[in-house]
Amino acid sequence: MPENISNLFDLEDDVLFDLPGCLSSTIQRALTRICRELIEKSKVWKEKLPLLDVVAQQTDYAINVPYNAVIKNLEDVRVIQASTQNFNDMLPLSQLYYDYILENILRFKSTSVAPRVAMVDGMQITALLVPSFNCTSIPTWIFERYAEGFIAGAKARLMLSPNKPYTNLELAQVNEVKYNEYLTNAANDAERRFMPQTKSIGA
């Protein structure tokens, strides 16, 4: 596995420690759900996607989304023109084009965009990402920073399962509090890391 990707299921033993008898598949599902929930609620995973080269007469462009993730929202879309020498001078698209791209990617679940902008050489998209529903791998920086939150969240939800050897309402509450602390930290991290250079356009 590449150095910048970590396996979410490496946390399975940490969850199992307090849940004797819990099935491996049950723990893995809990980890996947809690990982997706924390990332989606906090909006902490925002990445600049690979630059799209715009070619004359071409209307459809495939978007390469990393880590088998899903685009939840477009945070920023900019175009680079022939006269622009660096990405810092890239011109932001109008709201019209934001709406057009959102419609194609989100409403119709397409992975292509058709930027109809005159004299454009490229397009840079910053996207809000969430793990897919069957994710097993996430970026290492997310794994390392929020692993304890994923563990606590998975424990909290599983301990609420009725009539199980590991059912424990008191410990579930303790772990839920810990999970919510990590969720808050992730939301704060999202603000600090991205607010200065990206512009949200809504869900």
pLDDT tens string 116-171: 444 456 777 888 899 988 888 999 999 999 999 999 999 999 999 999 999 999 99
Cβ atoms within 10 Å, residue 42 = 20
Indicate the average pLDDT of the chain.
78
13 and 88 part of one domain: no
Q: Which residue, of 102, 130, 158, is where some domain finishes?
A: 130
3-class secondary-structure state, position 23: coil
Q: What is the pLDDT of residue 101?
A: 55
Domain assignment of residue 201, yes or no: no
Q: Which carries the bigger pLDDT value, residue 53 or residue 116?
A: 53
Q: Which carries the bigger pLDDT value, residue 39 or residue 85?
A: 39
Can you name the residues that pair with 129 across neighbouring β-strands?
71
- Per the document, the length of the chain is 203
125 and 54 part of one domain: yes
Pairing of strands 120-131, 52-53: antiparallel
Domain that holds residue 136: 5-43+132-194
Domain assignment of residue 200, yes or no: no
Domain assignment of residue 202, yes or no: no
Domain assignment of residue 33, yes or no: yes
11 and 67 part of one domain: no
Domain assignment of residue 185, yes or no: yes
40, amino acid identity: E
Q: Which residues of 145-177 are buried (b: 16+ CB within 10 A; e: fewer)?
A: ebbebbbbbbbbbbbbbeeeebebeebbeebbe
- Interval 14-36 mean pLDDT: 96
Percent of the chain residues past pLDDT 70, beyond the cut: 67
126 and 162 part of one domain: no
